[in-house]
Amino acid sequence: MTAFERLARRRQWLLLGAAAGFTAWQAAFLFPKARPGFATLLSLPGFALFFVSFGAMWFWAKAASDGGVGDSLEDEMTRHNRLLALAAGFWAMLSIGALLLAAAPFVPVDASQAARLVLIGGVAVPLVRFAMLERLVDDGE
Amino acid sequence: LTTENSRLGNRLKVHRARAGLTQGQLAEAVAVSRRTINSVENGIFVPSTELALRLGAALGASVEELFFLPDDGVSPAGLPRSGLH
């Protein structure tokens, strides 16, 4: 496995870690009636996972740049995959917003919870989609 | 830029083999990753005009020789229709 392949694979795992961390961090606040301490128990590790994943991604991106594989790791297809992932995030936010709007007449929807759900869709979906697209390219080799 | 189900055909692999280059060597010559070259060859990823021009320059071929529309009845310059990707 080359340095590029190793870093690309590591980035995929970090993207999934960041998505899981952000989801846990924000989802913890979706259940205000849960046992006291539940939100902290779920959100703190989630917060830590999210920021550690992003920090590691930044660190490895710099290492890749110093090691001469930065351009390959950030080439045309990667940028294209990232755009596709961001588009997936847009559709996820739109879908969640529409679902909440449709549910609003029947179920009381708290504004902050609705905002959190939209936020989770807008952050976690692109991260997962980007990792999936990158994995698909690797698997196609 | 597009991916998947693209209608654009290419003869990148043929020209690369003709030039005696591996995917890795071609990738290095045009400053992309090897998997990008692999994806272009397999029709998964359609490169930008800039990358297509760089590929052409690296392989000593025109963009029309490397890429073509399979359904428009126009074969790539100087190459037979048979065996097109």
Q: How far is B57 from chain A (nearest CA, A)?
A: 17
ipTM: 0.72
* H-helix or E-strand spanning residue B15: helix B12-19
- Nearest-angstrom CA–CA distance, B57 and A35: 65
Task: Report, as ranges of residue numbers, the positions in chain B whose pLDDT lies below 70.
Answer: 1-6, 72-85
Chain A contacts in chain B segment 2-21 (CB below 8 A): 3
Residue B66 CB-half CA count within 13 A: 28
Q: What is the pLDDT of residues A45-96, one digit of tens each?
A: 999 999 999 999 988 888 777 777 777 788 899 999 999 999 999 999 999 9
Q: What is the pTM of this model?
A: 0.82
Question: C-alpha angle with apex A84: A83 to A86, nearest 5 degrees?
Answer: 65
Provide the CA A112 distance to its chain's centre, in angstroms: 20
Residue B44 CB-half CA count within 13 A: 17
Q: What is the pLDDT of residues A100-139, one digit of tens each?
A: 999 999 998 899 999 999 999 999 999 999 999 999 887 7
Q: Of residues B70 and A25, which shows the higher confidence score?
A: A25
Give me the pLDDT at residue B79, please: 54
- Nearest-angstrom CA–CA distance, A69 and A82: 18
Q: What is the pLDDT of residues B73-84, one digit of tens each?
A: 555 555 554 444
Give me the pLDDT at residue B83, please: 43
For A77, the closest chain B residue by CA position comes to B36
Residues of B in contact with A77 (CB under 8 A): 32-33, 35-36, 39, 45
Helix A3-27, helix A38-66: angle, nearest 10: 160
Give me the pLDDT at residue B73, please: 53
Q: Of residues B80 and A10, which shows the higher confidence score?
A: A10
User: Long-range contacts for B25-29 (Cβ within 8 Å, ≥24 apart)?
Assistant: B26/B55, B26/B58, B26/B59, B27/A72, B29/B58
